[in-house]
Amino acid sequence: MSVAFADDDGASFGPAIRMDQVAPTGQVDVIQRDDGSALVSGLEHTSIGESLMLCSVTPNTGCEQAEILAIARSGRTMGFPRMT
C-alpha cells in the first residue's frame, strides 16, 4: 500500500510513500485534510488476523505511526471499510 501527493491538481505526483507494515490486502480509502495531510486506511494480514489500519500521512513525514482500528480474528474479511 502506498500513497503519493500532488500539488498541481493531480498533473504529477511526488514519490510514493509506503503505508503497509506487514502484508497488505488493499481496500484502501483516503480522506484529504485541509492542512494538506491525508488519513489513509487499509487492510493487512497480520499474525493476529486481518487488521484495519489507519495512519495520518504528510508528504514530508510519511506515515509516522500506523494504528490498528479493528482486528478480524475469525478468518472472515472486513470487506471494504470506508471513511466518512
The residue to which cell 499474525 is assigned? 47
Give the pLDDT score at 76. Answer: 67
Per the model's pLDDT, the better-predicted residue between 79 and 21 turns out to be 79
Give the pLDDT score at 60. Answer: 87
Domain presence at residue 2? no
- pLDDT exceeds 70 at position 4: yes
pLDDT digits (tens, 9 = 90+) for 8-56: 888 999 888 887 666 777 788 999 899 989 999 988 888 888 889 899 9
Domain presence at residue 56? yes
Domain presence at residue 54? yes
Domain presence at residue 82? no
Give the pLDDT score at 31. Answer: 93
Domain that holds residue 28: 24-77
CA dist 53 to 6, 41, 50, 80, Å?
23, 5, 10, 12
Number of domains in the chain: 1
Domain presence at residue 30? yes
